[in-house]
Structure 1
Amino acid sequence: MNIKFKKFGLSPDDIQQMKNYGILPDKRTLQSLSKAYNSINPSIEDIIEFQDKLGFKVDTDYVDFLLRNNGGVPSKVRIKGNKIVIDHFLSFKSDYKLNSIIDIYSDFQQYGLPIANTPSGDSIILSSDGKVRFFNHNIFSIDEEVGVIANNFLELLEKLY
């Protein structure tokens, strides 16, 4: 598996490049994306405390991923076997609330843990059984037609190309 992850948000270099091209987002979004880029990785204690609230243990490979990367934009974005594209993996906690698992979890808790977003606004969910599923925002539910995307988080990463 040869995937790299870029931090989610806008780095100072990204902001400068956008300024050079005259394509900056509004001030609030710019500030939020800058803060998101500077978000710190969670501690194992943070994750253990959150798991207690979840009521299920999170896949250890996913926990390792959060500790190492805290989400991010993968270098490979398409998932083999379907037409799903991942825009970015969510951060455990972020100043940009729409990218923060602990801030948006309550919207998904009956389905599992949101771990990634697609460019079209759908979500990738890690279910309590460890399987990875597709949450369709148009029907506000797991899309049963898509079925199980991967049997676990590591398999999801292995399917990215």
Structure 2
Amino acid sequence: MNIASNEGFNKEDLIKFSEKIGYELPNDYIEFLRHHNGGYVKNNISSYLKNGIQKFILTYMFGLGAGDDLLSQFDIYKKRIPNTCIPIGRDAGGNLVCLNLSKDRYGFVYFWDHEEELNYEEGKITIDDLYLIAETFNGFLSSIERDDLKASKEGYNVKKVWVDPDFLKELENNSDK
């Protein structure tokens, strides 16, 4: 995975987060936090199962104590995703990568499609309403592929490109992350 890691992993933040959510995190995920503490992901894709294999562009993994951290994301999504899950990452469309922490399917990684959120009453979505990515966090990491832009544009010719000036400024401001 091509990731610009967050700095500042702190074991105390990990303990506080585990106490807040009421679950212990899987060891493979804790190791990821120790090494990277989340961060911006560049040129990587993964996939989930929904009527066949669906691909998504992974853009960010949440860490501890960062601006866009696990605790703030947990608070934002705790009534929108299954109560046995925590959001651990985001794709380019604002969907989530979630880690299940219940005894049943402990450590499984799922994809939460925010477009389907309106199909459920608040707090009624279950783990069966998410899409499986991998049965372990390490399995999720292994599923991540480099998004080779050369291969994806093979056979296509770009004739014209327009980029919203405000969006371009945002891209330029985030290009060093």
In the superposition, the TM-score normalised over structure 2's length comes to 0.62
Higher strand share: 2
Question: For the residues of structure 1 that align with 2:115 and 2:65, how far apart are their CA atoms?
Answer: 26
Larger deviation, residues 57-66 vs 81-90: 81-90
The alpha-carbon distance between structure 1 residues 146 and 48, as it changes in their structure 2 partners (threshold 3 A), is: closer
Question: For the residues of structure 2 that align with 1:143 and 1:78, how far apart are their CA atoms?
Answer: 22
Q: How far off its partner does 1:144 sit? A: 5.0
Higher helix share: 1
The one of 52, 55, 74 equivalent to 1:83 is: 55
Aligned-partner residue type, residue 20 of structure 2: K
Verify the 8 A CA contact 1:136 1:143 in the aligned structure 2.
Answer: no
The one of 14, 18, 21 equivalent to 1:51 is: 18
State the identity %: 21
Q: Which residue of 2 aligns with 1:64?
A: 31
The alpha-carbon distance between structure 1 residues 146 and 83, as it changes in their structure 2 partners (threshold 3 A), is: farther
Q: How far off its partner does 1:44 sit? A: 1.6
User: Any stretches of 5+ residues in structure 1 without a counterpart?
Assistant: 8-38
Q: How far off its partner does 1:105 sit? A: 0.4
Verify the 8 A CA contact 1:78 1:84 in the aligned structure 2.
Answer: yes
Q: Is residue 113 from structure 1 mapped to residue 70 from structure 2 by the alignment? A: no
Q: Which has the larger radius of gyration?
A: 2
Query: Hey, which bits of structure 1, 4+ residues long, moved more than 4 A?
Result: 141-146
User: Any stretches of 5+ residues in structure 2 without a counterpart?
Assistant: 48-52, 118-124, 146-177
In the superposition, the TM-score normalised over structure 1's length comes to 0.67
The alpha-carbon distance between structure 1 residues 83 and 48, as it changes in their structure 2 partners (threshold 3 A), is: same
